[in-house]
Amino acid sequence: MADDLEQPFLAAILANNDDADARAVYADWLEQRGDPRAEYLRLEANMYVDPTRFIELMQQLDPQWLAVVTRRCDVVLVETGRTLIPLIRTIRELTGYGLKEAKDLVDAPKPAKVRSDLPYVEALEAAARLDATGARAALLPRVR
């Protein structure tokens, strides 16, 4: 996941996950080494400016590293897929919504937020459940 030189940066982030300064210093350090993870940290800091690029970048980076540095996440539905009944059922299970609310979410413009403010691993699991229905879900780090 990370080399020994990175450990102090990761330790600072783990100690206070919302410390923007620790993240900025780490991003600077990564950028000086030409590491694309610097872009991830900077995009996360400016989230929702370009969520499409952010989603692409998250899919390219090491999930273990993401689990350490990613703050809480929103799970968004990007595409519904062909079979809606399993998707609606899964949305109901993940959200506690009734049938109408779940169907409205499926019919909403995309991306549509399914769950908010989850720990990274829990958000990843929810997205995987949505993907298993044939839909496509993505994670967006939560901006505080």
Final residue belonging to a domain, choices 36, 60, 84: 60
Residues with Cβ within 8 Å of residue 82, at least 6 apart in sequence: 134
pLDDT of residue 51: 66
- Alpha helices by DSSP H, the chain: 7-15, 20-32, 37-45, 51-60, 63-69, 84-95, 99-107, 120-131
Structure tokens at 91: 């949305």
In which domain, by residue range, is 131 found? 73-141
> Are residues 20 and 54 both part of a single domain?
yes
pLDDT, one tens digit per residue, over 47-68 is 644 567 777 888 888 888 888 8
> Are residues 93 and 132 both part of a single domain?
yes
- In a domain, residue 77? The reply is yes
> Are residues 47 and 23 both part of a single domain?
yes
Q: What is the mean pLDDT of residues 66-73?
A: 82
Structure tokens at 29: 């350090």
- The angle that helices 37-45 and 51-60 make with each other, rounded to 10 degrees, is 140
Q: What is the mean pLDDT of residues 12-32?
A: 86
- In a domain, residue 9? The reply is yes
Quick check: 129 and 115 in contact, CB under 8 A?
no
> Are residues 113 and 55 both part of a single domain?
no
Q: Is the peptide bond before 51 cis (omega within 30 degrees of 0)?
A: no
Q: What is the mean pLDDT of residues 19-43?
A: 89
Q: What count of other Cβ atoms lies within 10 Å of the Cβ of residue 39?
A: 16
Q: What is the mean pLDDT of residues 82-101?
A: 96
pLDDT of residue 48: 45
- In a domain, residue 130? The reply is yes
Question: pTM of this prediction?
Answer: 0.63
